[in-house]
Chains A and B, each alone.
Chain A
Amino acid sequence: MIASAWVCLLAPLAAAALITLGGTWITRRQAGYLATLSVLVSFVAALIAFFKLLDESPDERSHTSTLWTWLTAGDFRVGLSILVDPLSIFMMLVVSGVGFLIVAYSIGYMDGEDEERRYFAYMALFVFSMLLLVQSGDLLILLAGWGLVGLCSYLLIGYHHERPQAVAAAKKAFIMNAFGDATMALALFLLIQRVGTLEYGAVFSAMDSIGGDWAITLIALGLLGGAVAKSAQIPLQTWLPDAMEGPTPVSALIHAATMVTAGVYMLVRLSPIFEQAPKIQDLAAGLGALTLLVAGLIALVQTDIKRVIAYSTMSQIGYMFVGAGLTTYPNAMFHLMTHAFFKALLFLGAGIAIHALVGEQDMRKMGGLARMLPKTYTAMIVGALALAAIPPFAGFFSKDPLLAATLDAGWYGQLLWAVGLIGTFLTGLYAFRMIFIVFGGEASPFVREHLHRPGHTLPALWMAWPVGALAVLSVVGGWIQFSPFWTPLSDFLDPVAPPGIEASGAEDAVTSVLAVALGLLGIGVAWWIYSARRAEVPRWAFGQRLLEHKFYFDEAYDYAFYRPAHYAALAAIRYVEGPLIGGSIAALSRGTRELSTRVTEAQTGLLRTYVLALGGGAALLALVFLAVKA
Chain B
Amino acid sequence: MKGPDVSWYLAVSALLFAIGALGVLIRRSPLIVLLSLEIMLNAANLALIGFARHLGDPSGQVFALAVMAVAASEVVVGLGLIVALNRARVALDVDYLSTLRG
Contact = CB atoms under 8 A, between A and B. Distances in A.
Interface of A: 600, 603-608, 611-612, 615
A605 B93 CA distance: 13
Q: Which of A603, A605, A611 has the most CB of B within 10 A?
A: A605
A608 B94 contact: yes
B25 A606 contact: no
Contacts of A607: 33, 94-95, 97
B43 to A, nearest CB: 13
Contacts of B33: 607
A611 B94 CA distance: 12
B94 A605 contact: no
Contacts of A612: 25
Interface in B62-102: 94-95, 97-102
Nearest to A608: B25
B1 interface: no
Contacts of B100: 605
Contact of A603 (B24, B99, B101): B101
A121 B74 CA distance: 77
A606 B98 contact: yes
B26 interface: yes
Given A603-B102, A604-B98, 16 more contacts: A600-B102, A603-B101, A604-B101, A605-B98, A605-B101, A606-B94, A606-B98, A607-B94, A607-B95, A607-B97, A608-B25, A608-B94, A608-B95, A611-B21, A611-B24, A611-B25
Interface of B: 21, 24-26, 33, 94-95, 97-102
Nearest to B94: A607
Contacts, number: 27
Nearest to B99: A605
A608 B26 contact: yes
A612 B26 CA distance: 10
Nearest to B27: A608
Q: Mostly helix, strand, loop or mixed at chain A's interface?
A: helix
A600 B102 CA distance: 7
Nearest to B98: A605
B95 A606 contact: yes
A611 B24 CA distance: 8
B84 to A, nearest CB: 17
Contacts of B25: 608, 611-612, 615
Contacts of B98: 604-606
A608 B24 contact: yes
A605 B98 CA distance: 5
B20 to A, nearest CB: 11
27 contacts: A600-B102, A603-B101, A603-B102, A604-B98, A604-B101, A605-B98, A605-B99, A605-B100, A605-B101, A606-B94, A606-B95, A606-B98, A607-B33, A607-B94, A607-B95, A607-B97, A608-B24, A608-B25, A608-B26, A608-B94, A608-B95, A611-B21, A611-B24, A611-B25, A612-B25, A615-B21, A615-B25
Contacts of A608: 24-26, 94-95
A448 B76 CA distance: 107
Nearest to A599: B102
B62 to A, nearest CB: 24
A351 B102 CA distance: 77
Nearest to B30: A607
A608 B28 CA distance: 9
Please name the 4 residue pairs, one residue from A and one from B, whose CB atoms are nearest each other, closest first: A605-B98, A605-B101, A603-B102, A607-B94
Contacts of B99: 605
Contacts of B24: 608, 611
B101 to A, nearest CB: 3
Contacts of B102: 600, 603
Contacts of B97: 607
A515 B98 CA distance: 104
Nearest to B28: A608
B17 to A, nearest CB: 10
A605 to B, nearest CB: 3
A608 B95 CA distance: 8
B14 to A, nearest CB: 12
Contacts of A603: 101-102
A352 B78 CA distance: 97
A606 B21 CA distance: 15
Nearest to A607: B94
A615 B99 CA distance: 23
A220 B49 CA distance: 90
Nearest to B40: A615
B15 to A, nearest CB: 15
Contacts of B26: 608
Nearest to B22: A615
A615 B94 CA distance: 18
A607 B24 CA distance: 9
A466 to B, nearest CB: 80
